[in-house]
Amino acid sequence: MFIISPLSNNLIKTEILTFFAVLVSLSSLAQTENVFTNEVKDITAKYDSIWDSSKETIVFTGSSSVRLWRKLKEEFPKHQIVNSGFGGSQASDLLLFTDELILAYNPKKVFIYEGDNDLWSKKSPNDVLNTTTEIIRRIKAKNASTQVILISAKPSISRWKIRNKYKRLNRKMNRFVKNDPNLFYVDVWKPMMNKRKLKTDIFIEDGLHMNQKGYDIWYEAMKDLVNQP
C-alpha cells in the first residue's frame, strides 16, 4: 500500500495552490487584454492613416483625462501630436501596451498620465511608481534621449476623499524625475486648486473628468514642456 506522508501531502497542496495562482494571474492578464485590446486597435488604426514617421512626434498617453483632451492637437499646431490615451486605464495597462501606444511612434517626448485610476482601485503610490519606472525603462531602452514627462495626479470632486494618496504619489513622482535630466514632472494639482479648495467649475457632471476650463489649466501647465527643444 502507498502511504502519503504529511510532508508529501503538504507539498502536493502547495503545488496545487501554486498552479491555481498561476492560472488566476494568467486569467487576470487575459481580462486586461480583452478590456483594452479593441480600443488600442482603434487608436493604432487611426494613427496608421495620419501619422507621419518623418516628423518628430510627441505622444500623450494614459487614462481618460488624456483621451478626452479633444483640443490637444489644435492647441499645439506646430507639433505632431499622438493622443493614445485610453479610458479607464491604469499604469499596468499602459505597460502592457507600451509598444503599440508609445514606442511605435518613436517619440521625441512622451507625456504620461497614470495613477488616478490606480489609486482609486486601491493600489499604492509605490505600485504606480514601480510600474511607471518599468514603462520609462522600456522607452529609454529604445531611445535613451526620449524625454518623458510625468503628469501629476489631478484633484477631483468625485475622488476627493483619497486626495492624500494622490498627494503622496505626486511627491514621489516629483522626487523620482530628479535622477535623470530627460525626465520631467508637471504639476497640475496646484493650478486646479484655489489655495486649499478645489476649483469645482472645471469639471463636467461626473465630478471626475474636466471641461474646457480644466484643460485650459493643463495647457498652461504643459505648454513650455511641449514647446521646449
State residue 135 phi and psi, 5-degree precision: -60, -45
pLDDT value at residue 179: 87
- Give the mean pLDDT per block of 10 residues along the chain (229 residues): 50 48 46 77 96 97 97 97 96 97 98 98 98 98 98 98 98 96 98 97 98 98 96
Closest among 100, 89, 2, 93 to 46, alpha carbons compared: 100
Output the CATH code of domain 39-227.
3.40.50.1110
Closest among 220, 223, 228 to 182, alpha carbons compared: 228
| Whole-number Å distance between alpha carbons of 44 and 64 | 17
pLDDT digits 0-9 by tens, 28-76: 444 445 689 999 999 999 999 999 999 999 999 999 999 999 999 999 9
pLDDT value at residue 68: 98
pTM comes to 0.85
Which ranges of the chain would DSSP assign to H, the alpha helix?
A: 6-50, 64-67, 72-75, 91-96, 98-101, 116-120, 125-142, 163-176, 212-227
Residue 26 contacts by C-beta under 8 Å, 6 or more apart in sequence?
Answer: none
pLDDT value at residue 28: 46
Helices 125-142 and 163-176 pack at an angle, to 10 degrees, of 30
pLDDT value at residue 22: 42
| Whole-number Å distance between alpha carbons of 215 and 65 | 9
Burial class of residue 77 (count of CB atoms within 10 Å of its CB; 0-12, 13-18, 19+): exposed
| Whole-number Å distance between alpha carbons of 111 and 123 | 21
pLDDT value at residue 34: 62
Domain boundaries, the chain: 39-227
pLDDT value at residue 185: 98
pLDDT value at residue 25: 47
pLDDT digits 0-9 by tens, 182-200: 999 999 999 999 999 999 9
State residue 84 phi and psi, 5-degree precision: -110, 30
Asked if 129 and 118 touch (Cβ cutoff 8 Å), the reply is no
